[in-house]
Amino acid sequence: MDDVIKAKGEGADKTLLSAADNAQEAGTKLYAQIDGNRQEVLALARTAVVGGPNLKPGGFSTLPPYLLEELSRRNPANSDFLKTYNKTKEMQEKGVMFRPRLSGDNDSSREVYDAKGKEEQPGERARFEGEKPSGNKEVDQAYDYTGVVREFYKKEFGRNSIDGNGMKFVSTVNYGDNYENAFWDGKQMTYGRPGEDSPFKTFVLLDVCGHEITHGVTEKESDMKYYGQSGALNESMSDVFGELIDQYAHKQTANQADWVVGNGIWKDGIKGRGLRDMLNPGTAYDDPKLGKDPQPAHMKDYWTGWGDNGGVHYNSGIPNRAFALFAKSVGGYAFDDPGHIWFAARKAAGNNPSFSQFAYHTIEQAKALGHADEVEKLQKAWEAVGVTPSKTTLDTRTPQPNLPDDGRRTFKKAG
């Protein structure tokens, strides 16, 4: 650092600024633009410079990295999958903050834009709150689905939009030229437009919309770290509430629902029912173009590795199955008692729970909400996936990054 300061004093090129200086400068600029916590901004700036596992990513994508990688490997003539994978990775590594408050951003209104194949946000204005249908299928579906998500959270949980304070629901459809994904980036919902040779029919689906927007709700409720079991619970919360929203819209009970995330996402001829099967993880698809759904359904098959932020998309199948089993054993609408127990447990468990700790809090919240008679069913659901509820048991199954006290995140290489 002294050498850098000396060099600057001698009139050397300003590009000799150290990584720490750049981080400080980036943090200062962000602070001037965002009405938020300065220390958090600086910490995020340091993360972007130092690198390592992003415990607070800049975006959450619908397709897990393992699926995009497998699609790229099995379809080498189609570069769209690799392009989307790299773009998604770039987005997630930015570590951006939740969208800052905007003027008039308190009416929970809907705004839908059309990127028309360009990689730009938000795109051209297509349909705003109260306007008549545009005639564009993707635009009108995004508008309608967002309305269902808004109604669900308002009616079932008394929540005023994503942040609880009326944040606008902004969506962009037809993003990118053959962009094979959809994502929530802390600011808005964005849906890619599948290519002609893609196995995907569409990304504009109700449970996909609910899944991605729920990432925003989770960030505001508990800010679960996006790594290991905490990250898998983050993904599972989005799967759970995405399916609850779908069941709510179709007035389905837990025993009537199919519990398939992304039902309708595949084109005809693809051997698959969706992206994930909550009730039977690992069975959602099995096709030569895709490979086989790799999700484990039990702790004995827990995925251990550095990839996918410590297996957040792989291992989410375990808590997913626990919820689906519990909801079916309770009966009725899953968005009633089971949904409310999960919603409350998310906040009670804090920002870095293990599966065991989260399971413990579901039991405690069941009691607190007056559902003590359902605790035995809840315990059996966790037992069925190999998770033992415990207030103190930490995540020891996932390779852990080194997190020094200064907030810098370095990543150990697997041996």
Q: What residues act catalytically?
A: 212, 313
Task: Give the whole-angstrom CA distance, residue 310 versus residue 53.
Answer: 9
Q: Is residue 329 a contact partner of residue 377, using CB atoms and an 8 Å limit?
A: yes
Distance CA 249, CA 313 (A): 25
User: With contact defined as beta carbons under 8 Å apart, do 406 and 23 qualify?
Assistant: no
Give yes or no for a contact between 213 and 153, defined as CB atoms under 8 angstroms apart: no
| Block residue for tokens 């635009």 | 139
Instruction: Name the amino acid, one letter, at 52.
Output: G
Contact criterion met (CB below 8 Å) for 385 and 218: no
Cα separation of 277 and 234, whole Å? 17
State the Cα angle at 237 between 142 and 159, rounded to 5°: 65
For residue 218, give the nearest of 164, 168, 295 by alpha carbon: 164
Contact 170/113 with Cβ under 8 angstroms?
yes
Residue 155, SS3?
Answer: helix
* Residue type (1 letter), 361: H
- Are 329 and 380 within 8 A, CB to CB? yes
Contact between 21 and 58 under an 8 Å Cβ cutoff? The reply is: no
Longest dimension (CA), the chain: 74
- Helices 65-74 & 80-93 angle (0-180, nearest 10): 160
